[in-house]
Amino acid sequence: MTARVALQLSGVERHYGQGETLLAILKGADFTLRSGEIVALVAPSGTGKSTLLHVAGLLERPDAGEVVINGQSCAHLNDEQRTAIRRNEIGFVYQFHHLLPEFSALENIMMPQLIAGLPKAEARVRAAQLLDYMRIGPRAEHRPSELSGGEQQRVAIARAVANAPLVLLADEPTGNLDPETAGYVFEALQALVRQSGLAALIATHNHDLAALMDRRVTIEDGKVRELG
């Protein structure tokens, strides 16, 4: 049975600037991401990787084209509706973990669940399960400053999927880690995708990690192109 389409971009255009100084970043970009797959986005700096992730994650509106998440067109949604989809359907992981320093690892993962309205007891149970899944359960009560870089990023991934999103978008999630630690983090992420049916698009400069993913795509002249 074919996996469902989690994210689809059709003819997406994005440009910046005003008047005659217009910089076109995405020029009719098409891309499809299915549940249960991990796709590497590999492209040089300045080609539009972050812009593509921002448009896909509804952080920016495209100037033209369509973004469809879980079968729902997002073209004409208002800001409140887009925020609801981001909260319920999309998880984000960045190069810098952006954990809240005054809260423990467990509390950081509970936070998005509490914002979504989950009772505190349920949020705590799910946060603990995710920490165990990411193999850092014993570090639950430690604050970010007490965790290693790899542990912090695993907490960030757990936080990103705390509300069971359909799509995970990651921008250089292992960029600050040494190769061995990056491997551990990616293994945990890969296991999470396989077990949950999550659809993951990961921008990375790490070609070794990219080679381990299901597909690799790049951006050339504002369009998404599949790599062999």
Is pTM, for the whole model, over 0.85? yes
What's the confidence (pLDDT) of residue 154? 87
Q: Measured between alpha carbons, how far is 35 from 200 in angstroms, rounded to an integer? A: 8
Say which residue the tokens 């007891």 belong to: 121
What's the confidence (pLDDT) of residue 181? 80
Structural domains in the chain, sorted by start: 5-227 (3.40.50.300)
Q: Measured between alpha carbons, how far is 158 from 48 in angstroms, rounded to an integer? A: 26
H-helix or E-strand containing 38?
Answer: strand 38-41
What's the confidence (pLDDT) of residue 19? 66
10-residue stretch averages of pLDDT, the chain, 228 residues long: 85 84 89 94 86 93 93 90 90 82 95 91 94 89 92 89 91 81 82 86 89 94 90
What's the confidence (pLDDT) of residue 190? 85
What's the confidence (pLDDT) of residue 18? 66
